Structure 1
Amino acid sequence: MSDLELRGVTKAYGNVEVIKGIDLKVEDGDFCVFVGPSGCGKSTLLRMISGLEPISGGDVCIGGDVVNDLGPADRGLAMVFQSYALYPHMTVRQNLSFGLENLRASKAEITERVTATAQMLQIEMLLDRRPKDLSGGQRQRVAIGRAVVREPQIFLFDEPLSNLDAELRVEMRGEISRLHRRLNNTMIYVTHDQVEAMTMADKIAVLRDGRLEQFGRPLDLYNTPDNIFVAGFIGSPKMNFFPGRVEAGGLRLETGTVVALPPGKFMLNEGEQVTLGIRPNGMQPAETGLPLTVSGVERLGGESYLYGTASDGTAVTVHCAGQTKIEPGTQIALTLETGEAHVFSTQSGQSLLRKGA
């Protein structure tokens, strides 16, 4: 068993608490992504799991055993860093075998594991090169290989793709996902890129300011976010938010537009201040509707994005299929797909979706 459980885990530096009581369980074989803005505590949490950072309170459990007092080498983990952390004076073969040599594995076992790992990651032709002779993508494969060769219970990835260009990031995302399917090991992956989180994860843990905001499957977080922070963080481009007030006829936005919501879907009280959330693909240009002044247009060929402001100054992003003829400076109207709308309490930020709706 290689499940991971965090029980009330905290971390403080003096009087400053940076991890504020996180409870989380990652099942055996899951690919779990920690995601959140810079400074939210995701890398600190990963280092606490690895044993590189002592915890201030709570328990870290691996396979049902509390490992608070075990060192990094004794936790059955392998970590892949953002900076690759390869030994520059060693060949790829030596980099892969170094950890096994420290574990006093036999030469035959080292050769077998290194060969199998190199073939799996398609780096067998690089074994006699040094890191300076490799591209960024090749270095990252070697860094991953150094983790794989140890046959750990759990893999830890700390923003491993952030040094790569956009095209190579997409390629390496696919390679890491395929590696997970082949090995079926538990993997914990830290990133600030929610696109990486959505495309790679079995489960996502959204962190903010040292707290766990929501934990669940990617599409669950996208379709039913618990609060306005998760709703704005998960999804690209981000969700649009419109302030408004509940009245008898529906929801009156500050733009003056009245929006009729599906009956019984939300827990609403007349007169309550709320925030309406609509994703960019939930609005379309129309003859009448929410007024928008278009300030920018992105034409990507198969799709287009409109950027503008509503009459109350709210920034709005609209996704349009295909190629649009709308130009910057144009005044248009938008229809809102309220069947996919989200409503949040303006005061607490929590979703007002009725359970089971």
Structure 2
Amino acid sequence: MATLELKNIRKSYGATQVIHGIDLDIPSGDFCVFVGPSGCGKSTLLRMIAGLEDITSGAVCIEGEVVNHISAAKRGLAMVFQSYALYPHMSVKANLSFGLENIGMPRAEIEERVMQAARMLQLDQYLTRKPGQLSGGQRQRVAIGRAVVREPKVFLFDEPLSNLDAELRVAMRGEIGDLHRRLGNTMIYVTHDQVEAMTMADKIAVLRDGKLEQYGPPLDLYNAPANRFVAGFIGSPKMNFLPGEFRSGQVHLKAGSAIDATAFAGAGDVELGVRANHLEITDVSDGALVCEVHSAEQLGGETYIYGALSDDTPITLHRPGQVPVRRGEKIGVRVDASVVHLFSMETGASLAT
């Protein structure tokens, strides 16, 4: 296990800066997930930690030691790629042992590490097979096993599940989580899928345009987002944002309702953020927002309703059970004021006190 610190990390390609001074402290044994939209810099940041990408300025520290000028092979890290990167002509066993053979490790120790990793990842019955004879999930386990046998200080995962189908992704998330609990190593995991981030991470680093937007435990980011971007990115379905004006402790929505906001500080144009499951369906009456239903997803145990308010603001409701609504129907919507968020229209920052 090892601590990992990023100190004012910057990356430029010529005059174009892509990573803008990121500071991050990842404690030993943590499972940290870098999440953000495509092009936000998360994979570039991971490759800089790994030593596969030069650092323009700042420092990467592993166990307190600056490793900027230490080669990737000597940093004590192991990386699992999206593409698996297995040798197709080698057996599973040969793939697992190849890296250890290259550094001259004794044969007996290689055998012990390979067999231990194979048992841990349930690959022991596939050791003589070639990668082409394995399923996607099995190939991914071989790629993870190749990292495990190195006994690294830190595991780095670069979108390792993006090539798998939905059902297999869920299963592999569980397997990687189990691996982390068994080994206790520090792990950094890159994904664009916020569901993966929420279900796997001890802490999440949300990135946008090469900047760190927020860092902390998943539920802290969900319950107390620092800004509109984090609020909209973390959580599924996406948070609803309703424009309005904040005055005298209330948000006067453009859609025609006033919501208590005495827990916030600010004034002027704002966006009120409310999650889909914090909206209730009621009669169309004074005080309720009016939503015209555009579509509904009936999933048996839950219903998602998509529509628009009177000012054309799109809105999503999530209700338990089976809610009978029709396209074009108008329904009343009440907001649970105790769980709303408020963001500055100008800066996007949270106005929570």
Q: TM-score, normalised by structure 1?
A: 0.97
Matches within 5 A, 1:103-114: 103-114=103-114
Matches within 5 A, 1:7-18: 7-18=7-18
Shift of 1:256: 1.8
Amino acid at match of 1:347: E
2:265 is the alignment partner of 1:267: yes
Matches within 5 A, 1:62-141: 62-141=62-141
Shift of 1:92: 0.2
Partner of 1:352, secondary structure, is: coil
The two structures, once aligned, show a CA RMSD in angstroms of 0.8
Residue 351 (structure 1) aligns with: 350
CA-to-aligned-CA distance 1:198-224 (integer Å, 9 cap, x gap): 000000000000000000000000000
* Cα distance in 1, alignment partners of residues 249 and 257 from structure 2: 11
Shift of 1:66: 0.1
Return 5+ residue gaps in structure 1 as ranges: none
* Cα distance in 2, alignment partners of residues 327 and 202 from structure 1: 41
Shift of 1:251: 1.1
Partner of 1:317, secondary structure, is: strand
2:203 is the alignment partner of 1:203: yes
Return 5+ residue gaps in structure 2 as ranges: none
Shift of 1:165: 0.3
Amino acid at match of 1:281: N
Residue 217 (structure 2) aligns with: 217
Residue 339 (structure 2) aligns with: 340
Shift of 1:175: 0.2
Residue 36 (structure 1) aligns with: 36
Matches within 5 A, 1:147-166: 147-166=147-166
Partner of 2:174, secondary structure, is: helix
* Cα distance in 1, alignment partners of residues 23 and 172 from structure 2: 30
Residue among 273, 277, 293 paired with 1:277: 273
CA 1:47–1:249 in 2, change beyond 3 Å: closer, same or farther?
Answer: closer
2:286 is the alignment partner of 1:290: no
Shift of 1:322: 0.5
* Cα distance in 2, alignment partners of residues 184 and 328 from structure 1: 51
Q: TM-score, normalised by structure 2?
A: 0.98
Amino acid at match of 1:161: L
* Cα distance in 2, alignment partners of residues 250 and 231 from structure 1: 20
Amino acid at match of 1:104: G
The number of residue pairs the alignment matches comes to: 350
Partner of 2:317, secondary structure, is: strand
* Cα distance in 2, alignment partners of residues 116 and 92 from structure 1: 14
Residue 316 (structure 2) aligns with: 317
CA-to-aligned-CA distance 1:124-152 (integer Å, 9 cap, x gap): 00100000000000000000000000000
Shift of 1:176: 0.1
Q: Kindly, what percent of the aligned residue pairs are identical? A: 62
Amino acid at match of 1:164: L
Amino acid at match of 2:184: N
* Cα distance in 1, alignment partners of residues 313 and 36 from structure 2: 24
Amino acid at match of 2:273: G
Shift of 1:248: 2.9
Shift of 1:249: 6.4
Shift of 1:247: 2.6
Residue 328 (structure 2) aligns with: 329
* Cα distance in 1, alignment partners of residues 311 and 137 from structure 2: 47
Partner of 1:312, secondary structure, is: coil
